[in-house]
Structure formats: structure tokens, C-alpha cells
Structure 1
Amino acid sequence: MLPVHLDGSPGALATLKAAVADALGGGPAVLPFTDPALRDAMAPAEPAEPGTAVVIATSGSTGAPKGVLLSARALVASAEATHDRLGGPGQWLLATPAQYIGGLQVLVRSLLARTEPVLLPGTGFRPDSFAAAAATLTGSPRYTALVPTQLVRLLDDGGAGLAAAKTFDAIVVGAAATSPAVRERAADAGVRIVPAYGMSETASGCVYDGFPLDGVRVDVTGDRIRIAGPLLAHGYRRRPDLTAEAFRDGWFTTSDRGILHDDGRLEVLGRADDMINTGGVKVSANAVERCLCAQPGVRDACVVGVPDPEWGEAVVALVVPAGEPGDLRAAVRAELGAASAPKRIEYDAELPLRGPGKVDRAAVRSRLAPGARG
């Protein structure tokens, strides 16, 4: 296995792109990384599992290292299905870290399209840097992939960053859910976004704007989302137990709850473990978050359960305001019932994030736990 250290430089990205191209052609499996501890947990000195082109290493929501095994077939199937849905191969702006599947797939799509991806310069995400990078794109169609936080920053900027966003034929938004409010803001601003649902195990987004990509099958068993198709990973690095549990009979069972509507549209309800048992009533943290984010004066919210001597678990929320929020507890109570109304709400300028733009729920839970200091 070939580890490739990504230090943010164009040289490191060029090394990764060449290594991925080689892996797609049958060369050594590639392990992109930034965290040496995560690299070591993948045991790069030991041979990769058969058929592996890329290992995506992630700490996951639990913090336990896990390596997703992706074949060349899966990566190519995902990239081709994405281009088919968006309107054909084009040139991509890489704006997310390439050690995660969303960024890695920008390189794969570029290789298949035979176009040179443009790298967002510097560290962190700034609207002016995004605008400068977008100005160097020469191909058509023009694509990029962002996480919701990046999209919101462009919408808030309202200047060169937003103007650049409007020039893209499509902006795939993934890694975390795109709220209805953000979708509406993007539409009003003239920015064409395509909300995507997927994960490393599906070689990036596999459901675009609610509908599966060509070749992808989606099923909801109980309330758990299952996915099948040529873009599936074939397991986890050195974890046959986890592989057998998640991958069965050609289907991958996710950790997400959902509803499959009659027209084939998938509605993602949140993670199976986001249910909060408060006083014997099960409350969906995702449903409370959606209710909060729909209120005037709220930009974002994260809802978790924390230990409570009376209720077992208490529903609490960390809210990012956008103005002066009203009575949020009353709004949740009116829409979802008294059990769903947060017992406590705290405010901050932004939510803590981990990985490629996912909310760090463990950090929110730690902050809002009884006795914790904000």
C-alpha cells in the first residue's frame, strides 16, 4: 500500500493524483492521509486487501479508526454516474480535503474527464480564495464540491465568492445535510447546488437531490437505509467482522434512517443513533434540528441528548443565530410536541466540525453536558 501525505501543497496533490491514476490502472493501493496516527492504524506496510485501489481512513463518529476499501470499479462507477447526472464530464475545483472521499472523487472525476483540477490555495476556506481559484478554470462544464458550511460562507459573503459560485454549472453539496433554508438561499442567489447523500462506503455521494444515481439501488428496511450498486466498497481494512456486519448479499446497510417515497425519492431522517430517549419518549434529534433551523433568526443548530437525573436524557441544543431568534422552545413544542422542546439552548458563532464538514456531535454533547462550562 502506498501512503501519500497531504500537506496542502500542490506537489502533494500532484503525487496523490498520479498515485490514484496508477491505482485505477491496477497499481498499488493508495492511502491518502494527514494524520500519522490514522495512517499507522491502517498498517500500510501490510498488503492491501485484494481488489483495493484506495483506502479512505477515517476516525468516524465514534473515534475508532476505520479504513474503507474502494476498488477501481467502484470509484469509476461513482465518477461516471456523477458526470451523467450533472451533464457530462467537466473541469473541477477541488475545495475539500483529498484524504476524504468527496475530495478524492474530484481527482477521480478529473482523471476520467482528462481535465486538470484546480486546487483551492492556502489553508482553510475563504470566499476570496474560492473566487480566485474559480477564475483560473478554463474548461466547461465547471463543477465543484462543497460542504454546507462552505456554501453558507459564500452566501454570507455576498461578494466575489458568491459571484464565483454563480458561474458553476453545478455545486455538489455533501458530507452533511443541506438544510431547506440553505437550499432556498442558494436558489434565491442563483447558485445551482445539488445536495448529495452518500459516504465513503458508497465512493462519495450516491443519491443526488433525493434520487439515486444511475445503477444505484436504495431500499429502506425497518427505517434503515440500504444501498446497492457498482460503487459500493468491498469492506473495511483488517476488519472482517465489520465487513460481514455491514455488507451482505450485495447491499450496504447504513447507520441512517430514511423514508423511500413512492416516486423513488429518498428522504434521509438522520442517523439511527440520533434518537434521544427522554422520559420514555423517543425524540429525533434531526427532526428538532430541522424545526430549529426553519425558525427566523437561526442559521444552524445541533441537538443532542445529555444525561439527566429526572428524564434519563435531556434534549439540548447548540444554536448558531442569524439575528434575534424568537422563542425556539415554544416553536419546537408547537410543531413536534413538548417532549421534543429542548430543555436548554446555548448559542455560539459556529458549530464545532470534524472531518470534511460534519458537525462534531461528541464535542457538542461534551459542551452541553451537565456541569460543563460553555
Structure 2
Amino acid sequence: MRDLPCFHDAPWSSGSAPALIQGERSCSYDQLHASIEAREILLRRSGVLPGQVLMAPDAPAWDLVLTQHALARIGAVLFPVREGSDPSVLDALIAQAGVEWRWDASAKRPLPTGKRNPDAETVDASLAFLIKTSGSTGSPKIAMLTQTNVLASALNANAVLELGAGDLWLACLRPSHVGGLSIAYRCALAGATLLLHDGFVAERVAGDLERLAVTHVSLVPPMLARLLELGCRPPASLRVLMIGGQALSLSLAQRALDAGWPLYVSYGMTETGSQIATKGPLCGRIEETSVVGCPMPDLDLDLGRCDTRSARLRMRGPVVMAGYANPERRPGDGLDEGWFETADLACLSPEGELRILGRADDVLVIGGTNVSRARVENALASVPGIGDVLIVDLPDPVWGHRLIAVHSGDLALSELDAWCGDHLSGPERPRAFMRLASLPLLDSGKVDRAAIVAQVRMAASRQPFPAGGD
């Protein structure tokens, strides 16, 4: 494993090259350094110490960039949260992580929360940020990422995506999620320009893609689908469209490739500071999107080859978190002697590439047959007119489970049912369908599986869906 310095000790760009752009506002790297220094002085004078945590809203994104870099200089810790979040939710997060400071956006200064961690400076000075997991399938946790995690992740991403001085990264993922927050660190190290958006608005993203020489952009699949619906075309300057956050369906990937988008698929998570594997650019006709590239260097994987039995992906290395947050910010929670076990089944291809096979809790036994929800979802996603689709399982006293297909398209129920009968095995066939105008999304832009499951269960409690099985 490389002996990496802290992120704030790594060399940055300087000079008159553009560093930030948001709307009509812009600044050079020299101007950015001056603004960060002013923010650092403000934080220090307010009493923020190394190792202490500052919670800050993720919008305006420009302000958060200044805060995250100023905190890195101090050795203090950033905890970005969704702007406008319910105060009771924020209070619970403050208690969960022992947060000492909270950014007052109106007064432009930090305010103490009343929490005090006397051991913060000695225990937590290596931390860079805390970030809440998406909670798409359960209660969210808070990952503690260190300065070494941040630097290792940024250096790897910049190498794989060939990000350098003169490049322009359009950042529309919310920085309260790791995929959005990490872009500012990457651009600072590479000397690239960071084009900021306060969240994803498809029309604004399409407008900036047409107006500016964007070279890199990160999206989650529902965002890509929205741009394709608008008829947005990739600019000639674009070299990388990186997709992550959730599984990418084969049909959506092929639509993007057919429209000329330079598609890179990636795999990662909050607990690893963003992606650990990236593959691209994809081209031509593709047969799968589950292979996500070679794992990053210096990452140890406890994983077998794809010709053997698949298993939960376990890893350790310079990008793996210090642990889940607790009031004492004690490291190690959620780790086993440094190893982090994911909820995903995976294997290594003969070429050494990582193949993600779905979540470990994704495989259901229906009538004695193993059925993968992810496989059924991917199959249904190829049906013209189905829109977004998610498979939910309900208990069945005879078959074990029955599948409900939740979708957003206007395809006739009879046509969808007939397609399932022709293309899916008996245990894989959905036994009922629920159409929503649109599938609910999390702040990160990913599909909110927990909300959809709750809707299905509520509907089933009012009027049970038909029993499954053939």
C-alpha cells in the first residue's frame, strides 16, 4: 500500500486558470485560494479545531467548495447535508456523529451545536469528511472518510478518467452524496475547472453541455434517461460520461451509446469514497453492463473468479472508510480488521475485471428456484414503453415469494404480461403490475427502493395481489 500524504498537503494548481464556474460567476485558482484562506481564517477565529466536525448545507455549492477546502487546511471534518433538510433529521445526525459545529448560511459563520468531543483532536484529526449513505434499502449510516481515503480516491479517478488541466467537469450530483462531493477534490488536484450546479435540473444540464466545452460529467441512470428523453446530444468536447450509483440497465446503456455518449460504467459506494472500478468508454453493441472494470491499484479483494461460486465482495485498502460514525467517532465500526464487506455479490472475470452480480439479498427462492430480482429488472427494462421498472417481492404461502413489477411507462398491461410469459421462466414472471407516473428518487438521484416497497405493501394490504407461481 502506498504511503499517501494528507489531501491538504498534496500539490494544487495555482495561477489564472479557471477553477470554479457557476452561472455567470467564475474565479481563477489564485482567486479560489484567496477565498479559501479567508474562509479558513473565519473558521479558526470562530473556534473550529482540528478533528472537529462542521455540518454544512450542500447548496449553494460554491459556498460548500470553500468550506470543504478550508476545513481540509485546518484538519477539521466536513459533514455535508441536503439543503433544506428537516431540522429533526439534522438533530438526529448531529447526535449520531457527535457534530460540534453547524454552518449558519444566513450569517455565513459556524455555530456550536453544544456537543463536545474532548478527544476529537487526538482521535479524529485524520478525518476529511463524514457522509450519510443513501439509505435506499434501509436506515442510513454515516461513513467516516479520512484524508488518505480522499487523496487515494481522487488520484485513482483522475488517472482512470484522464482528468487534467484545461478540462471542465460539470458537477450536478448533489455534494451531500459522495459522488458529488468527490468531484471538487479531483478537480483541485488535477487543475481542472469545476462547473457547479445546485443539483440536477435536466434542462440546465443540457444547456451547459451545449454552451460550454464540458469534458467530464457524472450522472446516475435516471438522470441519463432524462437527458435522453429531452433529446440532448453529447458535445464534441465530452470525453467522459461516468455512470454510477446504481445498476445501469442494458437498454439504457445501449440508447446512450447509440446517441453518441462516451459512456463509462463505474462501481463504488460511500464507504469507499466513490468508485473503486471504472470501465470505458463502451462502444458498439454491448451484451452486459455488470462488468465494471479492473479494481483500483492497492485495493485488496477477498473474491473468487467468476467460474467459481460468487460471494459478497470484501475489500480493504487506502480508500476504505475509517468506519461508521458514532458520537465518539471511534474508528472500526462496520469493519472486520480493516475489511469492509459490501451487500453486493461479485466475482472477477478471467481478465481480472470486477463483475457485480446484484445484492446478496436480491436472490429469492421461488418454487425451489433461485430468482434474481436484478435479472428480472434488467430483462423488463428492455421492453419498449415500460419506462423505469423495479421488482418488489411479497411473501407467498405456497411459492415463497411473488414478484410485483412497478413501472412508469404507458405500456398496456396485457402486452407487458404477454411479454413476460414469452421471455421469463415461470418463477421469474411478475404476478402483478403497478404503474406509477414516475418512480420516486432519493436526493442522490437514485431510485428510492424503500419508498416503492412501502407503496406496494400498502396497496397489497388494501387489496391483495394475486398469488404467484405456475
Give the TM-score taking structure 1 as reference length: 0.86
| Greater shift in the superposed pair: 53-62 or 227-236 | 53-62
**Where do 1:127-276 residues align within 5 Å?**
128-134=203-209, 137=212, 142-158=215-231, 162-164=232-234, 167-209=237-279, 210-211=292-293, 212-220=295-303, 222-238=310-326, 246-276=334-364
| Greater shift in the superposed pair: 246-255 or 341-350 | 246-255
User: Shift of residue 360 of structure 1?
Assistant: 1.6
Secondary structure of 1:78's counterpart equals helix
State whether residues 144 and 324 of structure 2, in contact with CA within 8 Å, keep that contact through their aligned partners in structure 1: yes
State whether residues 297 and 326 of structure 1, in contact with CA within 8 Å, keep that contact through their aligned partners in structure 2: no
User: Shift of residue 25 of structure 1?
Assistant: 3.9
User: Shift of residue 272 of structure 1?
Assistant: 1.3
1:3 aligns with 2:35: no
Q: Pick the structure with greater CA Rg.
A: 2
Greater strand content = 1
Alpha-carbon spacing, 1:372–1:20, altered in 2? closer, same or farther (3 Å): farther
State whether residues 173 and 200 of structure 2, in contact with CA within 8 Å, keep that contact through their aligned partners in structure 1: no
Q: Which residue of 1 aligns with 2:450?
A: 362
State whether residues 219 and 260 of structure 1, in contact with CA within 8 Å, keep that contact through their aligned partners in structure 2: no
Letter in 1 for 2:357: L
User: Shift of residue 331 of structure 1?
Assistant: 4.3
State whether residues 330 and 341 of structure 1, in contact with CA within 8 Å, keep that contact through their aligned partners in structure 2: no
State whether residues 101 and 203 of structure 1, in contact with CA within 8 Å, keep that contact through their aligned partners in structure 2: yes
Letter in 2 for 1:104: L
Partners of 2:135 and 2:332 lie apart in 1 by 18
1:113-145 deviation digits (Å, cap 9, x = unpaired) = 234411225x6522x21133335646xx72111
1:371 aligns with 2:448: no
1:27 aligns with 2:75: yes
State whether residues 278 and 313 of structure 1, in contact with CA within 8 Å, keep that contact through their aligned partners in structure 2: yes
Alpha-carbon spacing, 1:214–1:322, altered in 2? closer, same or farther (3 Å): farther
State whether residues 304 and 317 of structure 1, in contact with CA within 8 Å, keep that contact through their aligned partners in structure 2: yes
User: Shift of residue 164 of structure 1?
Assistant: 4.8
State whether residues 98 and 328 of structure 2, in contact with CA within 8 Å, keep that contact through their aligned partners in structure 1: no
Q: Which runs of 5+ in 1 are unaligned?
A: none
| Greater shift in the superposed pair: 256-265 or 143-152 | 256-265
Alignment root-mean-square deviation, CA? 2.9
State whether residues 134 and 442 of structure 2, in contact with CA within 8 Å, keep that contact through their aligned partners in structure 1: no
1:217-240 deviation digits (Å, cap 9, x = unpaired) = 444365211233321111110189
User: Shift of residue 62 of structure 1?
Assistant: 4.9
Secondary structure of 1:213's counterpart equals coil
Q: Which residue of 2 aligns with 1:301?
A: 389
User: Shift of residue 177 of structure 1?
Assistant: 1.2
Alpha-carbon spacing, 1:295–1:65, altered in 2? closer, same or farther (3 Å): closer
Letter in 1 for 2:69: A
Partners of 2:344 and 2:328 lie apart in 1 by 21
User: Shift of residue 76 of structure 1?
Assistant: 1.4
Secondary structure of 1:295's counterpart equals coil
**Where do 1:56-67 residues align within 5 Å?**
56-58=131-133, 60-67=135-142
- Equivalent in 366, 369, 372 of residue 278 of structure 1: 366
1:325-344 deviation digits (Å, cap 9, x = unpaired) = 77444544555521111111
Letter in 1 for 2:98: A
Secondary structure of 2:351's counterpart equals coil
- Equivalent in 186, 192, 215 of residue 109 of structure 1: 186
State whether residues 77 and 230 of structure 1, in contact with CA within 8 Å, keep that contact through their aligned partners in structure 2: yes
State whether residues 269 and 275 of structure 2, in contact with CA within 8 Å, keep that contact through their aligned partners in structure 1: yes
Alpha-carbon spacing, 1:8–1:205, altered in 2? closer, same or farther (3 Å): same
Q: Which residue of 1 aligns with 2:435?
A: 347
Give the TM-score taking structure 2 as reference length: 0.70
Identity %: 30
User: Shift of residue 248 of structure 1?
Assistant: 2.9
Letter in 2 for 1:70: L
